[in-house]
Amino acid sequence: MASATITSKGQITIPVRVREKLGLEPGDRIEFVEVEEGKFQFMPATRSIRDLKGMFYHPARKPVSIEEMNAAIAKRAAESK
Protein backbone atom coordinates (compact mmCIF):
# COMPACT_ATOMS: atom_id res chain seq x y z
CA MET A 1 0.00 0.00 0.00
CA ALA A 2 1.30 3.45 -0.91
CA SER A 3 1.30 6.15 1.76
CA ALA A 4 2.36 9.77 2.18
CA THR A 5 3.00 12.18 5.05
CA ILE A 6 1.42 15.63 5.32
CA THR A 7 3.91 18.46 5.81
CA SER A 8 3.36 21.40 8.15
CA LYS A 9 2.15 23.35 5.10
CA GLY A 10 -0.51 20.73 4.34
CA GLN A 11 1.37 19.32 1.35
CA ILE A 12 1.95 15.69 0.40
CA THR A 13 4.17 13.94 -2.10
CA ILE A 14 2.28 11.40 -4.17
CA PRO A 15 4.31 8.19 -4.32
CA VAL A 16 5.97 7.41 -7.67
CA ARG A 17 3.96 4.22 -8.17
CA VAL A 18 0.67 6.12 -7.76
CA ARG A 19 1.78 8.98 -10.07
CA GLU A 20 2.78 6.48 -12.73
CA LYS A 21 -0.51 4.56 -12.52
CA LEU A 22 -2.51 7.80 -12.78
CA GLY A 23 -0.28 9.19 -15.52
CA LEU A 24 0.51 12.28 -13.46
CA GLU A 25 3.32 14.63 -14.37
CA PRO A 26 4.69 17.80 -12.77
CA GLY A 27 2.15 20.62 -13.13
CA ASP A 28 -0.87 18.33 -13.34
CA ARG A 29 -3.83 19.13 -11.12
CA ILE A 30 -5.67 16.74 -8.81
CA GLU A 31 -9.34 16.81 -7.79
CA PHE A 32 -10.50 15.53 -4.42
CA VAL A 33 -14.05 14.14 -4.52
CA GLU A 34 -15.95 13.18 -1.37
CA VAL A 35 -17.43 9.75 -2.11
CA GLU A 36 -19.03 9.36 1.31
CA GLU A 37 -18.86 11.06 4.67
CA GLY A 38 -15.19 11.41 5.60
CA LYS A 39 -13.90 9.46 2.56
CA PHE A 40 -12.33 11.11 -0.45
CA GLN A 41 -11.13 9.89 -3.79
CA PHE A 42 -8.57 11.81 -5.81
CA MET A 43 -8.12 11.80 -9.54
CA PRO A 44 -6.24 13.71 -12.22
CA ALA A 45 -8.02 16.95 -13.13
CA THR A 46 -6.01 17.61 -16.28
CA ARG A 47 -7.25 16.21 -19.54
CA SER A 48 -6.00 16.13 -23.05
CA ILE A 49 -8.00 18.25 -25.48
CA ARG A 50 -8.60 15.01 -27.35
CA ASP A 51 -10.63 13.71 -24.37
CA LEU A 52 -13.16 16.48 -25.01
CA LYS A 53 -13.86 15.44 -28.62
CA GLY A 54 -17.56 14.78 -29.15
CA MET A 55 -18.56 15.95 -25.66
CA PHE A 56 -21.06 18.46 -27.06
CA TYR A 57 -21.99 16.62 -30.23
CA HIS A 58 -25.69 16.28 -30.93
CA PRO A 59 -26.79 14.92 -34.33
CA ALA A 60 -29.75 17.35 -34.59
CA ARG A 61 -27.61 20.44 -33.91
CA LYS A 62 -26.43 22.29 -37.02
CA PRO A 63 -22.89 23.66 -37.20
CA VAL A 64 -22.48 27.36 -36.36
CA SER A 65 -20.13 29.63 -38.27
CA ILE A 66 -17.58 31.93 -36.65
CA GLU A 67 -19.65 34.90 -37.83
CA GLU A 68 -22.77 33.51 -36.10
CA MET A 69 -20.78 32.93 -32.90
CA ASN A 70 -19.40 36.48 -32.97
CA ALA A 71 -22.90 37.91 -33.57
CA ALA A 72 -24.31 35.93 -30.62
CA ILE A 73 -21.47 37.13 -28.36
CA ALA A 74 -21.97 40.75 -29.44
CA LYS A 75 -25.73 40.49 -28.86
CA ARG A 76 -25.28 39.13 -25.32
CA ALA A 77 -22.62 41.71 -24.52
CA ALA A 78 -24.99 44.51 -25.63
CA GLU A 79 -27.81 43.03 -23.50
CA SER A 80 -25.64 42.89 -20.39
CA LYS A 81 -24.83 46.63 -20.43
- Predicted confidence (pLDDT) at residue 1 exceeds the cutoff of 90: no
Q: List pLDDT tens digits, range 8-61.
A: 999 999 999 999 998 898 988 898 999 999 999 988 887 677 777 777 778 888
Q: List pLDDT tens digits, range 15-29.
A: 999 999 988 989 888
Q: Could you state, in order of their start, the residue ranges of all structural domains in the chain?
A: 16-79
Predicted confidence at residue 6, as pLDDT, reads 94
Pairing of strands 39-44, 30-36: antiparallel
Contact indicator for 13, 30 with CB cutoff of 8 Å: no
Predicted confidence at residue 66, as pLDDT, reads 94
* Whole-structure pTM value: 0.51
